[in-house]
Amino acid sequence: MDLLDTLTAKGLRGEVPTREEALAVLATTDDELLDVVAAAGKVRRRWFGRRVKLNYLVNLKSGLCPEDCNYCSQRLGSKAEILKYTWLKPDQAADAARAGVAGGAKRVCLVASGRGPTDRDIDRVTDTMAAIKEADPAVEICVCLGLLSDNQAERLKAAGADAYNHNLNTSEATYGDITTTHTYADRVDTVQKAHGAGLSACSGLIAGMGESDEDLVDVVFALRELGSDSVPVNFLIPFEGTPLAKEWNLTPQRCLRILAMVRFVNPDTEVRIAGGREVHLRSMQPLGLHVANSIFLGDYLTSEGQAGQADLDMIKDAGFEVEGAGEATLPRHRADVAAAASGCGTTASSPCGTAASACGSGGGCGPCGGHGHAEPAADAPASEPVDELRDDLVKVRRRGAGTELAPNS
């Protein structure tokens, strides 16, 4: 049985491939690309049908972060000309969230820059969640505030949060190359705190920071092991004014291979195409929908996405449908696992472990940047061209939250 038959058979059974098989997906050639997408598409349809979950980012606090994540436009010392503002008021955030939900989003992702929240920040977010849920009790809320201290995850859960986003971003071995102000272990600890409090864990990666294929496979297997219910796959947006501004290491073909590898390793997990979708997949975005079952609607934290209506048109034109508020995202067996992990032992239709509320993802400290002083992997496929510099595609967000202009939804 060849590689793709093996991966498809395993994925349809919900089994995880070997590390070597995952690496082999990244080494496939352009001639094999459509076969790779088709194989990953079979696995995607087995567990998620043709549904696309829409998520909407609200940047509660933008820029001026004391952390030094190389990929991030909000980092310490960033010269990127992004919007900078302090905490939105609850009604401002609720207005932004409402626009996203009206556009078709079932999940709102509340994100704030910073190392981690103070207890006062948790109060602010609690008030914001109350304002959002008052307007629409069915909306899922994912929170992303950085590293959590003891009891903060429990407070967010009690206040109505459904999920917490904290990305691992890259492999443990290379984590120190992208950030020095916190560690990979810190990030793992926060994902575990969130999961332990009964929040759905949303944790993903950033590709295109100069990492090797081995790094990508390492972080994707680590996310599977960590029990992430949702895996956002960010493609580095090389913002001018950040250390990785010149890192253009991705092609649409490479992005599709990465998405397929993530899908095979996480067959029954929500896989979300996150930041960098428009910049790197470009006209190949619809093929990405055959592999991933979730995207962000509209804009990202500090950069603009394509028009929300263009997202909806793309989904329809590609033969997919927007996942409704009443539909479960995760397959039932995954929702049950999530519920058991949170200690509530419920089924997919119960209040504290519903598939609709026990999945997730976000962008939090997420759909942003990249790293990139490493050399391209020596074993990269010969067909893998280095992407051209396309900084014309990076558009700093100037509308929506923190501005007087209407949000893109």
Residues that bind ligand SF4 (CB under 6 A): 65, 67, 69, 72, 74-75, 113, 115, 146, 365, 368
Q: Is 255 a catalytic residue?
A: no
Q: Is 144 a catalytic residue?
A: no
Cβ-contact 273, 300 below 8 angstroms: no
Annotated catalytic residue: which of 51, 109, 255, 257? Answer: 109
What's the min distance (Å) between Cβ of 144 and ligand SF4?
Answer: 8
The DSSP call for residue 32 is: G
Closest CA to 242 of 372, 149, 140: 372
What's the min distance (Å) between Cβ of 43 and ligand SF4?
Answer: 30
E strand residue ranges, 119-185? 140-144, 163-165
Output 75 or 195, the one with its CB closest to ligand SF4. 75
Annotated catalytic residue: which of 144, 202, 359, 368? Answer: 202
Output 84 or 133, the one with its CB closest to ligand SF4. 84
CA distance 10 to 13: 5
Output 53 or 75, the one with its CB closest to ligand SF4. 75
CA distance 19 to 77: 37
Element (H, E) at 189: helix 184-196
Output 29 or 180, the one with its CB closest to ligand SF4. 180
What's the min distance (Å) between Cβ of 221 and ligand SF4?
Answer: 22
Annotated catalytic residue: which of 44, 51, 65, 75? Answer: 65
Closest CA to 228 of 28, 52, 366, 387: 366
Q: Which residue is nearest to ligand SF4 (CB)?
A: 365
Output 72 or 219, the one with its CB closest to ligand SF4. 72
| Percent composition of the chain: helix, strand, coil (DSSP 3-state, to 5) | 40, 10, 50
Cβ-contact 294, 52 below 8 angstroms: yes
Output 111 or 258, the one with its CB closest to ligand SF4. 111
Closest CA to 338 of 196, 233, 153, 205: 196
Question: What pairs with residue 53 in β-bridges?
Answer: 294
What's the min distance (Å) between Cβ of 364 and ligand SF4?
Answer: 7
Q: Is 239 helix (H, G, I), strand (E, B) or coil?
A: coil
Q: Is 241 helix (H, G, I), strand (E, B) or coil?
A: coil
Q: Is 365 a catalytic residue?
A: no
What's the min distance (Å) between Cβ of 147 and ligand SF4?
Answer: 8
Q: Is 344 a catalytic residue?
A: no
Q: Is 142 a catalytic residue?
A: yes
Annotated catalytic residue: which of 98, 187, 272, 334? Answer: 272
Q: Is 202 a catalytic residue?
A: yes
Q: Which residues of 188-208 are buried (b: 16+ CB within 10 A; e: fewer)?
A: bebbbbbbebbbbbbbbbbbb
What's the min distance (Å) between Cβ of 294 and ligand SF4?
Answer: 20
Active site residues: 65, 69, 72, 109, 142, 202, 272
